[in-house]
Chain A
Amino acid sequence: MADLALDPRMDLNPPLVKGGVTYSDLTGKISAITEGKPPRQWYYAMGVALPLAALLVVCLTYLVSTGIGVWGNNNPVGWGWDITNFVWWIGIGHAGTLISAILFLFRQKWRTSINRAAEAMTLFAVACAGIYPLFHTGRPWRAAYWLFPMPNEALHMWQNFRSPLMWDVFAVSTYATVSALFWYVGLVPDLATLRDRAVNPVRRTVFGLLSLGWRGSATQWKHYELAYLILAGLSTPLVLSVHSIVSFDFATSVLPGWHTTIFPPYFVAGAVFSGFAMVVTLMVLARWVYNLQDLITIKHLENMCKVMLATGMIVGFAYGTEAFIAWYSANQYERFVFANRAFGPYAWAYWIMVACNVISPQFFWFKKVRTSIPAMFILAIFINIGMWFERFVIIATSLHRDFLPASWGYFRPTWVDIGTFMGTIGLFLTLFLLFLRFLPAIAISEVKGVLHHQINTEKGAAH
Chain B
Amino acid sequence: MAANLLARLNLPGFEANTADHYGVVADFDTPEELLRAVRTARIAGYTKLEAYTPFPIHGIDEALGEPRSPLGRIVIVCGLTGLVSAVLLQWWTGAVDYPLSIAGKPLFAIEPSVPIMFELSVLLAAFGAVLGMFHLNRLPTYYHAFFNYSRAAGASNDRFLLAIEAGDPKFDAAEVKTLLESCGSRHAELVEA
A and B associate: yes
Assembled-state Cα–Cα distance A149/B112 (Å): 17
Assembled-state Cα–Cα distance A160/B112 (Å): 11
Query: In the complex, which residue of chain B has the Cβ closest to the Cβ of A156?
Result: B98
Asked whether, in the complex, the Cβ of A230 is within 8 Å of the Cβ of B129, the reply is yes
Asked whether, in the complex, the Cβ of B116 is within 8 Å of the Cβ of A167, the reply is yes
Assembled-state Cα–Cα distance A214/B138 (Å): 9
Answer yes or no: B93 CB below 8 A from chain A CBs.
Answer: yes
CB distance from B112 to the nearest CB of A (A): 5
Number of interface residues of A (CB under 8 A): 62
Answer yes or no: B167 CB below 8 A from chain A CBs.
Answer: no
Which 6 A-B residue pairs are closest in the complex by CB-CB distance?
A213-B141, A23-B158, A227-B133, A196-B153, A158-B93, A167-B115
Asked whether, in the complex, the Cβ of A193 is within 8 Å of the Cβ of B141, the reply is no
Interface string of A13-26 (1 = CB under 8 A from B): 00000000011100
Answer yes or no: B130 CB below 8 A from chain A CBs.
Answer: yes
Assembled-state Cα–Cα distance A448/B101 (Å): 58
Query: In the complex, which residue of chain B has the Cβ closest to the Cβ of A161?
Result: B90
Query: In the complex, which residue of chain A has the Cβ closest to the Cβ of B123?
Result: A174
CB distance from B173 to the nearest CB of A (A): 21
Assembled-state Cα–Cα distance A215/B55 (Å): 11
Across the interface, A449 reaches (CB within 8 A) one of B13, B56, B71, B147, namely: B56
Given contacts A167-B115, A167-B116, contact A178 B126 (CB under 8 A): yes
Answer yes or no: B80 CB below 8 A from chain A CBs.
Answer: no
In the complex, which residues of chain B have a beta carbon less than 8 angstroms from the beta carbon of A149? 89, 93
Answer yes or no: B140 CB below 8 A from chain A CBs.
Answer: yes
Answer yes or no: A320 CB below 8 A from chain B CBs.
Answer: no
In the complex, which residues of chain B have a beta carbon less than 8 angstroms from the beta carbon of A398? none
Asked whether, in the complex, the Cβ of B61 is within 8 Å of the Cβ of A452, the reply is no
In the complex, which residues of chain B have a beta carbon less than 8 angstroms from the beta carbon of A35? none
Interface string of A220-243 (1 = CB under 8 A from B): 111111110011001101100100
Query: In the complex, which residue of chain A has the Cβ closest to the Cβ of B127?
Result: A181
Interface string of A236-252 (1 = CB under 8 A from B): 01100100010010000
Answer yes or no: B102 CB below 8 A from chain A CBs.
Answer: yes
State which residues 106-145 of B face A: CB under 8 Å: 112-113, 115-116, 118-120, 122-123, 125-127, 129-130, 132-134, 136-137, 139-144
In the complex, which residues of chain B have a beta carbon less than 8 angstroms from the beta carbon of A39? none
**Quick one: which of A24, A220, A227 has the most chain B CB within 10 A?**
A227
Q: Which one of B4-12, B45-53, B174-182, B183-191 contacts A?
A: B45-53
Across the interface, A162 reaches (CB within 8 A) one of B102, B130, B141, namely: B102
Assembled-state Cα–Cα distance A192/B144 (Å): 14
Given contacts A23-B158, A214-B139, contact A223 B133 (CB under 8 A): yes
Answer yes or no: A446 CB below 8 A from chain B CBs.
Answer: yes
Main secondary structure of the interface of A (DSSP, over half): helix
CB distance from A199 to the nearest CB of B (A): 11
Given contacts A217-B50, A218-B57, A234-B125, contact A196 B141 (CB under 8 A): no
Asked whether, in the complex, the Cβ of A178 is within 8 Å of the Cβ of B123, the reply is yes
Answer yes or no: B150 CB below 8 A from chain A CBs.
Answer: no
Given contacts A149-B89, A212-B134, A248-B115, contact A221 B53 (CB under 8 A): yes
In the complex, which residues of chain B have a beta carbon less than 8 angstroms from the beta carbon of A221? 53, 55-57, 60
Interface string of A169-185 (1 = CB under 8 A from B): 01100100110011011
Given contacts A223-B136, A223-B137, contact A218 B126 (CB under 8 A): no
Asked whether, in the complex, the Cβ of A448 is within 8 Å of the Cβ of B55, the reply is yes
Across the interface, B126 reaches (CB within 8 A) one of A158, A160, A164, A234, namely: A234
Answer yes or no: A282 CB below 8 A from chain B CBs.
Answer: no
Answer yes or no: B20 CB below 8 A from chain A CBs.
Answer: no
Assembled-state Cα–Cα distance A159/B118 (Å): 18
Query: In the complex, which residue of chain A has the Cβ closest to the Cβ of B50?
Result: A217
Query: In the complex, which residue of chain B has the Cβ closest to the Cβ of A224?
Result: B133
Across the interface, B116 reaches (CB within 8 A) one of A166, A214, A224, A231, namely: A166
Given contacts A161-B93, A212-B141, A449-B55, contact A193 B156 (CB under 8 A): yes
State which residues 176-211 of A face B: CB under 8 Å: 177-178, 181-182, 184-185, 188-189, 192-193, 195-197, 209
Answer yes or no: A27 CB below 8 A from chain B CBs.
Answer: yes
Asked whether, in the complex, the Cβ of B69 is within 8 Å of the Cβ of A222, the reply is yes
CB distance from A313 to the nearest CB of B (A): 28
Assembled-state Cα–Cα distance A177/B122 (Å): 10
Query: Apart from A23-B157, A230-B72, A448-B55, what are 12 other A-B pairs with CB-CB below 8 Å?
Result: A23-B54, A160-B94, A170-B119, A171-B115, A184-B130, A192-B156, A193-B156, A213-B142, A215-B141, A216-B52, A224-B133, A231-B129
Asked whether, in the complex, the Cβ of A223 is within 8 Å of the Cβ of B69, the reply is yes
Given contacts A166-B116, A174-B122, A215-B146, contact A226 B133 (CB under 8 A): yes
In the complex, which residues of chain A have a beta carbon less than 8 angstroms from the beta carbon of B127? 181
Asked whether, in the complex, the Cβ of A213 is within 8 Å of the Cβ of B140, the reply is yes
CB distance from A451 to the nearest CB of B (A): 9
Asked whether, in the complex, the Cβ of B116 is within 8 Å of the Cβ of A170, the reply is yes
Answer yes or no: B44 CB below 8 A from chain A CBs.
Answer: no
Given contacts A196-B156, A220-B137, A222-B66, contact A241 B50 (CB under 8 A): no
Assembled-state Cα–Cα distance A212/B136 (Å): 13
In the complex, which residues of chain A have a beta carbon less than 8 angstroms from the beta carbon of B100? 157, 160
CB distance from A261 to the nearest CB of B (A): 15
In the complex, which residues of chain B have a beta carbon less than 8 angstroms from the beta carbon of A213? 13, 139-144
Asked whether, in the complex, the Cβ of B153 is within 8 Å of the Cβ of A227, the reply is no
CB distance from B150 to the nearest CB of A (A): 13
CB distance from A63 to the nearest CB of B (A): 29
Interface string of A138-174 (1 = CB under 8 A from B): 0000000000010000000111111010110011001
In the complex, which residues of chain B have a beta carbon less than 8 angstroms from the beta carbon of A166? 116
Asked whether, in the complex, the Cβ of A196 is within 8 Å of the Cβ of B157, the reply is yes
